[in-house]
């Protein structure tokens, strides 16, 4: 038997685990926890509002801004839309979480 194979075997498992852990860490930093596109979030909000009435127009700022409510901190996109309610145009402004698309704030704008 070859003695060199027996001495190398104890190191294979730790080296393999270390390399796979490092690869997982790098992949997580590169691909994990990325914000959604502003267009996708606007499409989600428009679809939710379209269920209750016709949308006349919409907009979204493509740069996320810091948002904090109590102890929760995240980045959010700001946007707005206009829809017809009782034959009148009504404006809304919203803030949506940049990572999940969830509405964080919604305000009806009174003229």
Q: What digits encode the pLDDT tens for the residues 30-87? A: 666 788 999 999 999 999 988 888 899 999 999 999 999 898 899 999 999 999 888 8
By C-alpha distance, which of 45, 48, 34 is closest to 78?
A: 45
The number of angstroms, rounded, from the C-alpha of 55 to the middle of its chain's C-alpha atoms is: 24
| Spatial distance between the Cα atoms of 7 and 9, rounded to a whole number of angstroms | 6
pTM score, whole prediction: 0.71
pLDDT top residue among 3 and 56: 56
The number of angstroms, rounded, from the C-alpha of 33 to the middle of its chain's C-alpha atoms is: 7
User: What pLDDT sits at residue 104?
Assistant: 93
pLDDT top residue among 69 and 7: 69
């Amino acid at each position: 038997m070859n003695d060199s194979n027996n001495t190398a075997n104890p190191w294979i498992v730790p080296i393999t685990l270390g390399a796979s852990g490092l690869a997982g860490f790098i992949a997580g930093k590169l691909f994990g926890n990325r914000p959604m596109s502003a267009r996708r979030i606007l499409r989600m909000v428009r679809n939710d509002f379209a269920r209750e009435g016709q949308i006349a127009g919409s907009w979204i700022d493509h740069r996320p801004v810091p948002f904090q409510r109590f102890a929760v901190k995240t980045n959010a996109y700001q946007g707005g839309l206009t829809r017809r309610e009782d034959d009148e145009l009504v404006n809304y402004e919203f803030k949506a979480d940049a990572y999940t698309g969830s509405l964080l704030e919604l305000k009806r704008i009174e003229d």
